[in-house]
Every structure is written in C-alpha cells, then in structure tokens.
C-alpha cells in the first residue's frame, strides 16, 4: 500500500483544523447584546469610515448653516438691556404682555416668556435698555392690566421688578467667556500632545472641534438664549468628549503596540477591535451621564420652573451625545485614515494585504491528489475564507474541534 503523499497529509491536517464541513447556519450566533458586551469586533466602524465621514459632514454642514443663517439668541448678560419680571397669575399669556408693552412704550419687546408653572410662574420681558420714564410708564400699564401681587397676596406695583444690564457689562462677559474657551482649548491641546502621539492628538482635537460646532449648531436651531450657564455647560461637555476619546485611544494604543512587527492584522483592524472593546463602556457612560441631565430638565425646569437651568441642561444633553458619537465614529476612523496615508503604517497595511492576497491565490491554485488517484478539494472549495485569507472574520467564533495528539 502506498504511503500518503505530502499533499494528502497537508490536506488531512488542514481538514482537521477547519470547520468547512459544518453547517454554519445551524450553529449558534452572537446576538446584538452579546456582541456589544464581548467586544469581539463584530461591529465594523473603521471599515465603514467613508459612510461615517459622510454622516459627520452632513451634521457639520447643518450646524454651520444654522449658525450662519439663524445665528444665536444672546441673553441679556451678553447684549445688555432691561429685564422686567412680575408674577404671572392664573390667566396671563405672552400675547397680552406683548400688547401692553407695545401700547405703553410704542416699541416691541425683544422677548416675552412665562417661566415656571402654577403659583411660582413669572413673566419675563426682555427689551432694549429703558430710561426711568419708560420704566414707570411700563410698570403702570402692567399693573393696571394684570394686578400682580406681592408675597402677601396683595396687589402691588413693587412686585414688578426691573433689572438693567449695561452693554459694557455684556461685552465683558462675552470677552471672559471667549477667554475661558481659548484657555480650555490650549490646555487640552497641550495635554493631548503630551499624552498621545501626534496623529492621535490631531484626531482628538479635530473631534473636539466637531463637538463644539455641532453643539453650537443645535443651540442655534433650538433658539435658546445663550447665557453664562450655557458657557459653563459648554466647557463641561468638552471635558466629557475628551475623556471618551482618551478611553478609546488608550485601547487603540494597547491593541496596536508592536503591530509593525506582525503580519497577521492591519492597524485598521486592531483599531476597529479597540472600538468594539470600548463600545459598551462608552454607551454605559453616556447613558449614566444623560440620566441626571434629563432629571434636571424634568424636575428643575418643568416641575420647579427654574428656567435658567434649561440652558445648562440642553447644552449638556446635546454635548454628551455628540461627544460619544465623535469619539467612536469619527475620532478613531480619522486616526486610521491619517495613519494609513502617511508613515510606516501605510506600508505595513500594504504588506499585510499583499500577503493575504498571495495566500488566497496560492490556496486557490493548489490541487492536491490523494493516493487513490481521487482529486482532493482545493483550498477554495473546502478551506473556509477565514483560513484562506489569513484574517479572522470580525465576531466569528470557532465551530470545529482541534484533534489533540494523545501521548
């Protein structure tokens, strides 16, 4: 009896390690939640980066158009002017207040809103700076029409309060807000440049600017007044965005350490695996951060009527969600694009892909013959694509059993 040829022996070994004879449809598969928690790399983020670049570009375009066309509604703390406030009572609406204001002064109010609900509801009128005579005339008109009461329940003209903010003060607030934003960005840039390598720093800072533009665009679309609370919330969400990017990049750095000396996976594949491994953590962090903000909006703004907190709540809610999106779907794909365009990573990627293509071509053209003269299936027929290409499918799980040598 003839001895098995080398081709036959090679085929038998390969068959014992493959799962080509297994019905893949009958095997259990990972569910969505399972893939999220296990972080097996099943979600293709980096591989679909062109789609996410397009989506990111559309979001930025909408935000910029809103900023340019609609602009921002600056609060009295930034523009200056007069704020008139009095208890709303039970049947006061903004249209009545606007009518009384225009009849008394001959000009239109810039903004009229009812803040709060129930007995704590108040009417707030924002206007250009009024002189003493205009203030007296407006107080008389409002008192005659609405009869607002003081804390004792007695109708009183003193319950109509007036506060003036000069344009000089508004300019100082604006200047300080811009200085705070610039200082924050400088400190963040220095930290990222020291903490990470150059390409990671570029990607993280670009994602940070994306968060700023989109959050500002949403604020412009909604039309809320920009107040000092808005600026505080803005700086807060930028810190959150930076934190999420640092978490993801830490994992990318860990997965890609020494990858230039290996030829099995590319930088993009390892970066995508890092995104999958931190995806559940990013989702949990985002949800946990959003819940208190939603509670703030519901309790403080809707139930207690603290209208000034809605500015802080909105900017934090939008910023947290946008920051989570940018760290996962924009910062990491951008890092991979930078790496694969310049530097040694680009050459390493070409080398790995060329090696896989060569292995696939070699397995496809190999046709071993068994000792009985029958044709042994080629690699393209029996060996799964995973073994032929040299790259495991994202999220794949082993289905065959390895034959162990018994001693």
Task: Identify the band that residue 30 occupies on the pLDDT scale cut at 50, 70 and 90.
Answer: low
Angle at 134 between CA 129 and CA 137, to 5 degrees: 145
pLDDT at 398 > cutoff 90: no
CA distances from 187 to 212, 237, 242, 330 (A): 16, 15, 12, 22
Residue 257: pLDDT band by 50, 70, 90 thresholds? confident
pLDDT, residue 37, reads 54
The reported pLDDT for the residue numbered 368 is: 56
Average predicted confidence (pLDDT) for the chain: 75
pLDDT tens digits, 145-178: 887 877 777 787 888 888 777 766 667 777 787 7
Residue 284 has pLDDT above 90, yes or no: no
Q: State what percent of residues in the chain have pLDDT above 70.
A: 73
Per the model's pLDDT, the better-predicted residue between 371 and 276 turns out to be 276
Q: How far is CA 129 from the centre of its chain?
A: 40
Across 68-82, 129-143, 276-290, least confident range: 68-82
Which pLDDT tens digit goes with each residue over 104-142? 888 888 778 777 666 667 788 888 888 888 888 888 888
Q: What is the mean pLDDT of residues 45-61?
A: 92
pLDDT band at residue 35, thresholds of 50, 70 and 90?
low
Strands of 111-115's sheet in order across: 111-115, 122-127, 81-87, 161-165
Mean pLDDT of 321-336: 90
Is residue 320's pLDDT more than 60? yes
Q: What is the pLDDT of residue 395?
A: 47
Mean pLDDT lowest among 48-57, 232-241, 303-312, 335-344: 303-312
Evaluate if residue 375 carries a pLDDT over 60: no
Between CA 256 and CA 268 the distance in angstroms is 9
- In the predicted model, what is the mean pLDDT of residues 232-242? 78
Residue 34's pLDDT is: 59
What is the structure's pLDDT at 382?
Answer: 40
pLDDT one-digit tens code per residue, 181-208 = 788 878 877 888 787 788 888 898 899 8
The model's confidence at residue 234, banded by pLDDT at 50, 70 and 90, is: confident
Give the pLDDT band of residue 268 (cuts 50, 70, 90).
confident
The pLDDT of residue 377 is: 46
pLDDT for 389: 44
Q: What is the 3-state secondary structure (H, E, C) of the chain?
A: CCCCCHHHHHHHHHHHHCCCCCCHHHCCCCCHHHHHHHCCCCCCCHHHHHHHHHHHHHHHHHHHHHHHHCCCEECHHHHCEEEEEEECCCCCCHHHHHHHHHHHHCCCCCEEEEECCHHHCEEEEEECCCCHHHHHHHHHHHHHHHCCECCCCCECHHHCEEEEECHHHHHHHHHHHHHHHHHHHHHHHHHHHHHCCHHHHHHHHHHHHHHHHHHHHHHHHHCCEECHHHHHHHHHHHHHHHHHHHHHHHHHHHHCCCHHHCCCCCHHHHHHHHHHHHHHHHHHHHHHHHHHHHHHHHHHHHHCCCCCHHHHHHHHHHHHHHHHHHHHHHHHHHHHHHHHHCCHHHHHHHHHHHHHHHHHHHHHHCCCECCCCCECCCHHHHCCHHHHHCCCCCCCCCCCCCCCCCC
Residue 81 neighbours by CB under 8 Å, 6+ apart: 110, 126, 127, 128, 129, 164, 165
Closest CA to 179 of 240, 235, 133, 217: 235
pLDDT at 400 over 50: no
Q: What's the full length of the chain, in residues?
A: 407
51 falls in which pLDDT band (50, 70, 90)?
Answer: very high
What local confidence, expressed as pLDDT, does residue 269 receive? 87
* Count of Cβ atoms closer than 10 Å to residue 211 Cβ: 29
Assess contact for 331 and 45: CB atoms under 8 A.
no
Q: What is the pLDDT of residue 56?
A: 94
**How much is the pTM?**
0.69
Q: Check if the beta carbon of residue 225 is closer than 8 Å to that of residue 306.
A: no
Distances (CA, A) of 227 to 178, 200, 288: 13, 33, 26
Sign of CA dihedral 280, 282, 288, 291: negative
User: Rounded CA gap, 327 and 323, in Å?
Assistant: 6
Predicted confidence at residue 22, as pLDDT, reads 47
């Amino acid at each position: 009896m003839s001895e098995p040829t080398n081709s036959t022996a090679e085929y038998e070994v390969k068959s014992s390690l493959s799962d080509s004879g297994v019905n893949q449809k009958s095997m259990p598969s990972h569910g969505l939640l399972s893939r999220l928690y296990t972080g097996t790399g099943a979600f293709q983020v980096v591989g679909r980066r062109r789609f996410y670049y397009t989506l990111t570009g559309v979001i930025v375009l909408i935000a910029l158009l809103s900023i340019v066309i609609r602009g921002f509604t600056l609060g009295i703390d930034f523009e200056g002017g007069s704020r008139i406030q009095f208890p709303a009572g039970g049947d006061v609406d903004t249209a009545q207040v606007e009518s009384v204001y225009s009849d008394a002064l001959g000009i239109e109010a810039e903004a009229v809103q009812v803040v709060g609900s129930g007995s704590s509801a108040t009417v707030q009128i924002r206007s250009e700076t009024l002189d003493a005579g205009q203030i007296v005339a407006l107080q008389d008109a409002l008192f005659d029409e609405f009869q607002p009461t003081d804390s004792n329940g007695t109708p009183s003209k003193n319950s109509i309060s007036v506060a003036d903010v000069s344009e000089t003060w508004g300019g100082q607030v604006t200047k300080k807000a811009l200085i705070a934003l610039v200082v924050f960005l400088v400190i963040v840039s220095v930290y990222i440049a020291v903490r990470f390598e150059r390409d990671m720093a570029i990607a993280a800072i670009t994602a940070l600017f994306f968060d700023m533009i989109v959050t500002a665009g949403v604020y412009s679309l909604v039309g809320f007044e920009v107040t000092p609370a808005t600026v505080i919330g803005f700086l807060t969400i930028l810190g959150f965005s930076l934190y999420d990017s640092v978490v993801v990049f830490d994992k990318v750095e860990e997965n890609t350490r020494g990858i230039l000396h290996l030829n099995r996976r590319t930088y993009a594949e390892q970066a995508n695996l890092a995104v999958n491994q931190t995806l559940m953590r990013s989702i949990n962090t985002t949800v946990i951060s959003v819940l208190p903000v939603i509670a703030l909006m519901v309790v403080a703004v809707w139930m207690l009527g603290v209208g000034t907190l809605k500015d802080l709540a909105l900017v934090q809610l939008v910023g947290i969600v946008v920051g989570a999106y940018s760290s996962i779907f924009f910062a990491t794909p951008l890092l991979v694009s930078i790496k694969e365009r310049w530097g040694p990573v680009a050459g390493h990627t070409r080398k790995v892909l060329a090696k896989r293509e060569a292995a696939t071509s070699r397995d496809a053209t190999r046709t071993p013959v068994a000792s009985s003269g029958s044709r042994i299936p080629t690699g393209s027929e029996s060996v799964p694509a995973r073994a032929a290409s040299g790259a495991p499918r994202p999220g794949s799980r082993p289905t065959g059993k390895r034959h162990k040598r018994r001693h």
